[in-house]
């Protein structure tokens, strides 16, 4: 008969050990120990992980997914690292990847917002200079008229 300690040594998975100790009742431990086939027992652990949402939903825990490349008239499929969990296979890894992407996008948004504010400031300053420049010709014309009048009087 197998023992749980042998299973722990064979699979160095901390989540597995926690599940084996905490999630299974005493009756469940008796059933676990009575399963002669190690593979069947491990499949029970896999089923429990899937039921608990342990696996990445995109790759079902394999850490790999098919990537399709469109180049010219042909398409190519290749097996590659899962983009959702970064090849880890766990839902927690998928959450970490999504969180880091969110932080990156928020950082980029903040940077772009700063650029927009700077451009708006330049636009407002440019409009102010344009308004003052359009007022200048009127002042210049009145100055010219005044000078012309003075010259006509013969000062």
pLDDT at residue 103 greater than cutoff 80? yes
Q: How far apart are CA 135 and CA 142, in angstroms?
A: 11
Q: How far from the centroid of its chain's Cα atoms is residue 46's Cα?
A: 27
Whole-structure pTM value: 0.39
Domain ranges of the chain: 4-54, 67-128
Share of the chain above pLDDT 90, in %: 11
* Nearest partner of 94 among 66, 129, 56, 131, judged by Cα: 56
pLDDT tens digits, 15-35: 767 766 665 666 666 666 666
Q: Can you state the percent helix, strand and coil of the chain, rounding each to 5?
A: 65, 10, 20
Residue 153 has pLDDT above 70, yes or no: yes
Percent of the chain with pLDDT over 70: 60
């Amino acid at each position: 008969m197998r023992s749980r300690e042998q299973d722990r040594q064979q699979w160095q998975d901390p989540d597995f050990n926690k599940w084996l100790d905490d999630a299974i009742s005493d009756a469940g431990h008796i059933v676990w120990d009575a399963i002669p086939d190690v593979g069947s027992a491990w499949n029970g652990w896999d089923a429990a992980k899937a039921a608990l949402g342990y696996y990445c939903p995109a790759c079902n825990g394999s850490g790999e997914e098919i990537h399709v490349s469109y180049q010219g008239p042909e398409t190519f499929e290749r097996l590659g690292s899962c983009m959702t969990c970064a090849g880890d296979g766990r839902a927690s890894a998928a959450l970490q990847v999504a969180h880091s992407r969110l932080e990156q996008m928020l950082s980029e948004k903040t940077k772009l917002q700063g650029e927009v504010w700077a451009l708006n400031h330049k636009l407002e300053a440019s409009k102010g200079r344009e308004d003052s420049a359009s007022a200048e010709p009127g002042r210049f014309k009145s100055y010219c008229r005044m000078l012309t009048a003075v010259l006509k009087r013969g000062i």
